[in-house]
Every structure is written in structure tokens, then in C-alpha cells.
Amino acid sequence: MKKLLLLLLSVILTGQFVYAAPPIDISYSDGIYHIILKGDKIKKRIQFMASESLITNREAHNKSQARLTVNAGFFDPSNQKTISYIINDRTTSEDPMFNENLTSNPILRRNLDKIMNRTEFRVVECDSDRRLYYEIAPHKSSVEFGCVVRTAAQGGPLIYPELKMEEEAFVIKNKDGEIIHESASVLHKTARTIIGIKGTDEAHILIFTDEHPADLYDVQAYVKKLGIDRAMAFDGGSSTSMNYLNKYEVVSTKGDGGGRSLKSFMLVY
């Protein structure tokens, strides 16, 4: 009743209705988009999906009619198969163990356990109290008792509070300590798609565009400055993509302006 009286008073004084802040906040500064997902309701509107054939972020956005669409997990463009686990509606919809290019590569095969356990972003649902919360954790780690992963996308590596490039096989060294393999340009400055959390109830998405390329050390310093508790990478470089309604679009690959064709996406309805 008190809130209603305050709303009516506002209408009388200003002649306008006052609405609550939208659950998606977007700001842009110095080549970086900062998207904040706030509140409990938005957690139910998050879904990770994968396409059978590769499509652009714009195509996924238009097809799904989501409010926000962001590129998600890693994939192999040569066979169009995933390199990241995707969970949708409590079920694993994409499994990198079925990607023969991973299992047949001698360097990657020796590091398969690390690759399969790369960090993922989760929306976790608890049956007892219908509670939802965000989590950034290794893929094989368990959730709270009585809870289940509702939807998730694996990416990696974990960036903050620790940077785990070697632990997740994004950087592989030989016995002499020399780098023999680097994935996702983790040591180079490029466009990035980053997701982080504050507590378990606020998600932050950072889009480092071509105007502000960053390596993962740069990203780590940036998320620390923002006060984010945990942060990880999704696919980046030319895959970096974002569409919000029909207002904002990020396309890293210039070309005809359509963007790179991708495998998986984060959708916020």
C-alpha cells in the first residue's frame, strides 16, 4: 500500500508513471560494453543454446527473439562441433567428447582431462525452495545438495580471482617450459567476451570490442577494479558478438557486417 501511495503521489506531482529499473543495464565506455543482469526474475530468462549448423549472433538473436544475445562456448569451425559443454533445460545438449578433432589431436588428447573440466557459467536451480543462483566453477564440480544446473555454458579459462590458463590447457608447455600450444589467443590482445558474477545473484557481461582489445591479464585487472568476485572467458576474438533488442550490435569480424558464424549463444529473454 505504501509503494502504491508513493506511485500515485509521483503521478500527481509529475504527471508521469515511475517504473522500476529494467533487469538488464547496459553501459559503454572506451570500447567496452558492460552489461549487468540484476534481480531474481532475470535468472529464469537466461538460456544457453547451440545451433546444429553455424549461424551468426544476429541470426540467433532474430530467430530466438531474445532481448540480449551473446556468443558463448568454443567450437571447431572445421567440423562445426563443440569444444565446450552446453547445458539446456537441465540436460547436456552439447558434449565435446564427441568431437573427434579433440580426441585425435595428440597434444590435446594428452590434456583432455583439463579441457573437459574447463570453467563454466551456470544458472543453478534448487528444488526445495525454487531458488536460482549463478555460479562460475569447473565443469565437473558439483552443485549444492538438492540443486541442479538449469542451464550452463563452458568456456574458460577462469580469469578472476585466479588466472588458470595452464590448468585449463589454454597454454600448454613442454618439459622445458616452452609454450607449444596456445588457444583462444589468451596471451594476445584481441576482442573478448567475458562473464562474471558478484555474489550469486548478479551477473556481469563485458564485451571488449575491437576498439579496446585485451589480453587476459588486462581483463583480470579490469574485473578486479569493478569489484567482480569471479570471472571467466567465453569465446572471443572474431567470435565476439552481442545483440541487444535492435539497439546495439557488436560484430568483431568486419567483412559484410554480418559477423562470424558461431555454435553456441547466451540468450536473455
Q: Binning pLDDT at 50, 70 and 90, where does residue 13 land? A: very low
Q: Is residue 14 in some structural domain? A: no
Cis, peptide link before residue 161, omega less than 30° from 0: yes
> Smallest Cα–Cα separation from 202: which of 230, 166, 179?
230
Q: For residues 257 and 72, which has the higher predicted lDDT (pLDDT)? A: 72
Does 29 have pLDDT greater than 60? Answer: yes
Q: Is residue 5 in some structural domain? A: no
What does the pLDDT read at residue 12? 40
What does the pLDDT read at residue 216? 98
Cα gap 46→26, rounded to integer Å: 16
Tens digits of residue pLDDT in 227-241: 999 999 999 999 999
Tens digits of residue pLDDT in 116-157: 999 999 999 998 788 999 999 999 999 999 999 999 999 999
Place of cell 559503454: 28
Q: Is residue 136 in some structural domain? A: yes
Cα gap 163→144, rounded to integer Å: 24
- Report the helix count and the strand count for the chain, using DSSP H and E: 6, 20
The pTM (predicted TM-score) of the whole model is 0.90
- Looking only at the bridges linking them, the beta strands covering 241-244 and 32-37 are unpaired
> Smallest Cα–Cα separation from 268: which of 61, 34, 63?
61
Cα gap 19→26, rounded to integer Å: 17
What does the pLDDT read at residue 234? 98
Structural domain containing residue 230:
24-268
Does 161 have pLDDT greater than 50? Answer: yes
Average of per-residue pLDDT values in the chain: 91
Q: Is residue 13 in some structural domain? A: no
Domain count for the chain:
1
Q: Binning pLDDT at 50, 70 and 90, where does residue 3 land? A: very low
Contact 48, 255 (CB under 8 A): no
Cα gap 241→201, rounded to integer Å: 24
Mean pLDDT of the region 210-219: 97
Measured from the Cβ of residue 257, the count of other Cβ atoms closer than 10 Å reads 9
Q: Is residue 246 in some structural domain? A: yes
Cα gap 254→238, rounded to integer Å: 9
What does the pLDDT read at residue 256? 63
Place of cell 525454487: 130
Q: Is residue 118 in some structural domain? A: yes
Q: Is residue 11 in some structural domain? A: no
Q: Is residue 38 in some structural domain? A: yes
